[in-house]
């Protein structure tokens, strides 16, 4: 059991609800799947184990029972006031306090506990979705229960430096154009692909509203007959200012979509702070799927490395250090 002492933007999440969008149920789940999955792997959990997501940090938790945990964020982390490393598993003993500062880069962070957080599942998921009353943000005084765990430290405890996700304030975000490309003029598409767009304060887990050069619609206009909204869809309403739909986005909507962010780059969008800048770059579906495959393979290699199934070698070429996973034959 963990007690929340101080919290802001803290919620229980997993990888969301799959299969219910036809009933209007949003997928939801963590904003940055990549960081969340690694944080779960660090304590030996499955990728979908419920964990805590926090926004911007400044939180304090207390262990009411022993628990192996990891923090997935580029924050300063302290256990009983002593500095400990993020992206590494640790043992929290009964009575210990855990403090996490604002991330130095990125905005969403994760805390995993071995065994995962216990919760009442709705549509197969623990993800908090306050809009429907499915859980709420956690506050000081709340307690979360951890599932049974073996208390056995994972084979390897630490994520190699090279694999720690680092998020810049300016990002290049790859997109697949469409599905409503014809609702935009050629000039509109050029504007979209050649300008930087700023993340505004009107951004939350549902989507990020961007400010920047106005994107021109064609004679077909900004409105469409409502259709489905995949994760990462970039809607452009009448204002000409794009909105990127993120984890808690509604399932359907009536604004023309100029493009969809590729799966591999969703975490980069999610981790961009207010005031951060995004520059969009067009890629093909085939390329996006290749990039995703590589990213997925990296995740699987991280899992196997932490489980002690494969080894990692650091290769230094001039000043750059690269990581290679190697398998015993």
Binding site for another protein (CB under 8 A): 18-26, 122-123, 131-134, 176, 178-179, 225-228, 230-233, 250-253, 257, 260-263, 285-286, 288-289, 292-293, 296
Give whichever of 134 and 197 is closer to another protein, judged by the CB atom.
134
Closest CB 56 distance from another protein, rounded Å: 24
Closest CB 229 distance from another protein, rounded Å: 8
Give whichever of 2 and 283 is closer to another protein, judged by the CB atom.
283
Instruction: Please say whether the beta carbons of 257 and 179 come within 8 A.
Output: yes
Closest CB 132 distance from another protein, rounded Å: 5
Give whichever of 228 and 326 is closer to another protein, judged by the CB atom.
228
Give whichever of 17 and 90 is closer to another protein, judged by the CB atom.
17
Closest CB 149 distance from another protein, rounded Å: 28
In whole angstroms, give the CA distance from residue 264 to residue 293: 9
Give whichever of 225 and 313 is closer to another protein, judged by the CB atom.
225
Closest CB 131 distance from another protein, rounded Å: 6
């Amino acid at each position: 059991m963990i007690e929340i002492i101080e919290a802001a933007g803290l919620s229980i999440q997993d990888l969301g609800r799959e299969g219910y969008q036809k009933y209007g149920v949003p997928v939801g789940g963590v904003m940055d799947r990549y960081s969340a999955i690694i944080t779960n792997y660090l304590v030996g959990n499955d990728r979908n184990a419920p964990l805590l997501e926090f926004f911007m940090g400044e939180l304090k938790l207390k262990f009411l029972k022993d628990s192996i945990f990891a923090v997935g964020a580029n924050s300063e982390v302290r256990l009983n006031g002593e500095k400990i490393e993020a992206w590494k598993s640790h043992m929290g003993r009964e009575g210990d306090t855990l403090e996490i500062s604002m991330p130095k880069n990125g905005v969403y962070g994760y805390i995993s506990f071995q065994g995962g957080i216990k919760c009442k599942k709705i549509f197969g998921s623990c993800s908090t979705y306050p809009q429907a009353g499915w859980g709420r943000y956690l506050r000081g005084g709340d307690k979360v229960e951890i599932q049974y765990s073996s208390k056995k430290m994972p084979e390897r405890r630490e994520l190699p430096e090279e694999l720690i996700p680092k998020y810049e304030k300016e990002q290049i975000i790859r997109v697949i154009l469409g599905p409503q490309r014809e609702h935009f003029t050629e000039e509109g598409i050029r504007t979209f692909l050649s300008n930087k767009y700023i993340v505004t304060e009107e951004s939350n887990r549902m989507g990020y509203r961007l400010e920047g050069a106005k994107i021109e619609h064609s004679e077909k206009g900004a409105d469409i007959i409502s259709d489905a909204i995949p994760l990462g869809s970039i809607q452009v309403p009448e204002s000409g200012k794009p909105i990127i739909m993120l984890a808690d986005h509604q399932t359907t909507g009536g604004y023309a979509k100029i493009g969809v962010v590729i799966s591999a780059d969703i975490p980069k969008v999610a981790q961009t702070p207010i005031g951060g800048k995004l520059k969009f770059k067009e890629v093909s579906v085939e390329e996006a799927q290749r990039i995703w495959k590589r990213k997925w393979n990296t995740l699987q290699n991280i899992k196997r490395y932490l489980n002690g199934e494969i080894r990692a070698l650091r290769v230094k070429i001039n000043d750059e250090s690269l990581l290679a996973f190697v398998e015993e034959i």
